Amino acid sequence: MARKNYLFTSESVSEGHPDKVCDRVSDSIVDLFMAGDPQSRVAVETLATTNRLVLAGEVRGPVTHDAMVEAAREAVRAIGYEQDGFSWKTVNIDCYVHEQSADIAMGVDAAGNKDEGAGDQGIMFGYACRETDVLMPAPIHFSHAILKSMADARHAEANSPFGPDAKSQVTLQYENGRPVRATSVVVSTQHAGHLDQKEVRELVRPHVLKVLPEGWMCPEDEFYVNPTGRFVIGGPDGDAGLTGRKIIVDTYGGAAPHGGGAFSGKDPTKVDRSAAYACRYLAKNVVAAGLAEKCTIQVSYAIGISKPLSVYVETHGTGQVDEDKLSAVLQEMVNLSPRGIREHLKLNRPIYARSAAYGHFGRAPEADGGFSWERTDLADALKRAF
């Protein structure tokens, strides 16, 4: 039986965190390829350290090394890094990206009677629940929102006291399975050198109060801001970063399983990305349709094979319908082959750089197709099916 009363914690990191800098750069390169040719293949990793970026990976499409380097530089500028140890103007960028392996291409590409295959083997999960209006777990939702609020303030102010690098962590008290209050909040943020810890604390406080529901603020002695005391040196100058190291931040904050594959830097033939989006889409529509309070969906694939090897649906004892029938209906509504997912969610577009920070899920669908996996357009059909 599921526990009813407990504490649960999730964390987020800002767009200026070293790993998120790398995710943003890698996804900016995916967007560059998708804009040039929607059928491009991209698998690009980024490493960041003091005033240096290194790009590596495999691609197929009409984009030069010079264009990739400029896209990386622009991503650093957009984040807001113009510091002595890491600046968009002076960062050295090495590009070691090369052509996609012919052996991988043979397995993935459609040919003759063979449909497009999965870009890799793996398992992917999606999840949705009723804890927030965006059907996301509350701890990760609030953790993201605090940092997004701080980032918006930083971008709006020419001489902001906040630097680009920041982390948050929110612990919530659950009673009868529902979140009711925060018991602790942690925020660490890069800041201007003239500020002391108390001043930074008061600058952070309104962003936390704005995000948490009224009356949910943690006790004062459980509100931790820059616990080390000082955070002036940050970003890749303070710590190296790599693409794909924040996969729990990217998804459900640990409240649901994760298959292990990162999203950023990958075109949508890679099921690590596209199938995880499809699972979230289906789970969210199940909950939006009122068929369950919580829903987890898992799919699995083999490289080069188009059909999923398994589709698993779990409603955690909250379901209003038979789970086997629900699984069958979902598969009738959405073709879960790599091609079917890409076409249904229209993923072959330059929509990925915006997803690199503050979570891939729980975001609002956008007019140009960004976050299409957050739509709830299947909910009415699901209601009718049951």
Q: Indicate which residues carry an active-site annotation.
A: 17, 19-20, 45, 58, 167, 231, 239-240, 245-246, 266, 270, 272
Q: Which residues pair with 45 in a beta bridge?
A: 56
125 labeled binding residue: no
100 labeled binding residue: yes
**H or E stretch at 159:** none
Q: Considering only CA atoms, which of 59, 77, 81 is closest in space to residue 68?
A: 59
283 labeled binding residue: no
Q: Which residues pair with 97 in a beta bridge?
A: 57
58 labeled binding residue: yes
266 labeled binding residue: yes
246 labeled binding residue: yes
Q: Considering only CA atoms, which of 225, 226, 233, 227 is closest in space to residue 206?
A: 225
What are the angstrom distances between the C-alpha of 106 and each of 121, 146, 156, 340?
Answer: 15, 45, 48, 19
17 labeled binding residue: yes
284 labeled binding residue: no
324 labeled binding residue: no
**In 195-269, alpha helices (H):** 197-211, 247-250
221 labeled binding residue: no
343 labeled binding residue: no
Q: Which two tokens stand for residue 370?
A: 């960004």
Residues contacting 52, CB < 8 A, separation 6+:
91, 92, 93, 94, 236
Beta strands in 267-385 (DSSP E): 294-301, 310-314
CB count within 10 Å of CB 64 equals 10
383 labeled binding residue: no
Which residues sit in the known binding site for L-methionine? 58, 100, 239, 270
Which residues sit in the known binding site for K(+)? 45
Which residues sit in the known binding site for ATP? 17, 165-167, 230-231, 239, 245-246, 262, 266
Which residues sit in the known binding site? 17, 19, 45, 58, 100, 165-167, 230-231, 239, 245-246, 262, 266, 270
